[in-house]
Each structure stands twice: as C-alpha cells, then as structure tokens.
Structure 1
Amino acid sequence: MNGVRVREMTEADIDAVAAVRVRGWQEAYAGLMPQSYLNGMSVQEDAERRREFFSRGVGDVVNLVAEANGGEVVGWCCFGPYRDGDAPTGDAELYALYVRPAQVGTGVGRALLGESLDRVGERGFPRLRLWVLRDNARARRFYERAGFAPDGGTESYEVDGVSVPEVRYALRLDPAAG
C-alpha cells in the first residue's frame, strides 16, 4: 500500500485501534469461532479496556499503528516479551496484528510486521514467536511468507463453549540486526 506509515500508538488512537481489532476479529475468525461471540464483540468495550491499559502504562509492550494517507488508522499490532506461563523466556512475542478488513492484502500487515521485526531485532531478542488459530489458513500463509514456521507448540482455549486450537510460530532473528 503506497503511503502507509507505521508509528507508535498514542492514546488518541484508542478508538480507531479498537475498531480495527474488533472488525478484524469478526472478519478473520468468522467460521473459526462461534459467531455469537464475534457478533457480541463491542468496539466501545474494547476501547474502554485499552484506555485502562494505557492509564496503567504499557511497560515492555509496544503498540504500533499503520496510517493510510490522510492519517486514518488502518492497522494495529503489538509485541513484547514472550512469556511461557509466568517465566520470561528471552524471546519476543507478537501478541496481535490486525488490519481493517478492506485493507487486507494491500501491504498494511506487511508494513506492521516489518516494523515489528525491526524493533524486536533492535532490542536484541533472538526469536519472535506468535500464536495463530490452527484453521486460519490466510494468517498462516501470511506468517509463513514472512519466514515464520510452526515450532511444535499448540494450545487451545475455549470461546462460548467451543475449543479453539492455536499453533505457535517462530522466527529466529539475526543477532547482528540488533
């Protein structure tokens, strides 16, 4: 996408990020998790949670937004230290990456992922991990094209009584990049 700019998220971006996240879930996870759950998602409630998170300080978590020409927020991602339970592992984790549904395939996701990889590398993390729904073929192809591969980690969580399986992906980073 020409003219996309990636920058750190500010408090002023919260409403736009909540809309990107909720609409992204509703589009990407249709058929992969209960539709009743997706239909019940609220942009306003998501924004309220984000405001509370921002008010406490973001700590080691980095939130990035992608802006289109004119400053409209069209994508969001966040990353930070990977945690296996409560124990730090030394790796980083991409916690989320969402793009407005109309912008999927335009390069917004690649721009966000590229900036995240640069920043994770600058911080000296040896690997970036992420979790993706097992049956989300589009997301899995996206990450595989970027060099990620499943590392054998699996887990499931429950959404409205339905088990939703995930697989973990990892990308080893060039230690010289940081």
Structure 2
Amino acid sequence: MNQHVVRAVRVDEWEQVRALRLDALRDPAAPVAFLETLEQAEGRSDEFWQDRARGASHGRSARQFIAEGPDGEWDGAVTVLVEEEGTADFFAVPVEATQGHVVGVFVRPGQRGSGLTEALFTAAVEWAWSLEGPALERVRLFVHEDNARAAAFYRRFGFAASGHAVKLDSGAEEYEYVLVRG
C-alpha cells in the first residue's frame, strides 16, 4: 500500500502546483468539478503560479494541501480559502461570518477510494479549525449538480447540504455543503 505524506505546499513548489492543476483539469470529471478550464490555466503566467503557491503556502488567507507519494509524485490536492466576514465571495455574495471555503479538490483516478481524499480533507479541516482571530465556525464548499460522486464523499465526511445553490452561466447549479465546527 502506498504511503502518502499530506502537507501544505511550499512557496518554491509553484511548478508542481501548476502541473497538478493542469492534470486535474485534464480529468474527465473536470467540467463538473472546476470553474476553470484547461485552456484558461495553460494561459496563466509563471508569475500567476508563483503567486498562487506563495499565497497557499503560509499565512491565514489560504492553504493548499497536497498528497505526496513515496516516489515524490503529487497524487492529490485540496485548498482552503478563508472568506472574511464583510467581504464578498467568489459568487459576489456577501460573507456574513468568517468561514473556510474548500476548493480545488483533486485526487488522481488511481488513488480514488484509497483514503487519500479523506486524508487531504482531514488536514484541510484541521488547519481551518486551528485558525484564531477570529476562529472559523464553518467550512463550506460547492458541488456541481452533476457531480454525485463528490457530493456522496462530502456527506460521508460530515458536510451537509445547506439548501443554498448558485446558478452558473451554463445554467447548471452548484450546491453549497457545510461542515460546522463540532
């Protein structure tokens, strides 16, 4: 059985951050899993990826966790963004209380069902709960209406549908799931 190390990305790993994101966007599930296309991501500059790794490697605003296999390959990732009270979220909806927002969930097909997704989510949620000033009382994510596999995992992990949905430009809906601090 493969042993993975789940850890936060480091600032100098921007090339690996980019490579894993491009692999995620090549996945057949990408159209219902991500709001970005492969073409958009491929068009981004090295500076964009450097900034992304820097922002997700330290501080309070975001943290990206990766699952690194014994061979050094990154087999999955998840990112938590902190949405501060009084700001607007990605969908331009006012944020009523400081919260975590899980994005960029990806596990390579050969690792799905192995427990790797649980390990990534555990690290991400533990990091979110560790924040102070103010502490996060909930972590949320959105799941595409056609992504039943992901929705089932989120429910198993403890997330519950909030009843809130966002309509995408395509006409499809993204459903909000929430995990409340216990």
Question: 1:38 Cα shift?
Answer: 4.9
Alignment of 1:163-174 (within 5 A): 163-174=171-182
What residue number does 1:145 align with? Answer: 156
Counterpart of 1:45 in structure 2 is: 44
Q: Could you say which structure has the greater relative contact order, defined with CA pairs below 8 angstroms and 6 or more residues apart?
A: 1
TM-score of the aligned structures, taking structure 2 as reference length: 0.76
Shift of residue 135 of structure 1? 0.9
CA distance in 1 between counterparts of 2:110 and 2:142 reads: 23
Q: CA RMSD in A?
A: 2.8
Q: How does 1:1-178 map to 2 (within 5 A)?
A: 2-29=2-29, 32=32, 38=37, 40=39, 42-43=41-42, 45=44, 49-54=48-53, 59=59, 60-82=61-83, 84=89, 85-87=93-95, 89-123=97-131, 124-158=135-169, 162-174=170-182
Displacement after TM superposition at 1:12 (Å) = 3.4
Percent identity between the aligned chains? Answer: 26
Counterpart Cα distance in 2 of 1:164 and 1:47: 32
Number of corresponding residues: 168
| Structure 1 pair 19–99 and aligned structure 2 pair: CA distance change class (3 A) | farther
Q: Normalising to structure 1: TM-score of the pair?
A: 0.78
- Structure 2: 5+ residue stretches without partners: none
Q: Say if 2:65 and 2:120, in contact at 8 Å, map to a contact too.
A: yes
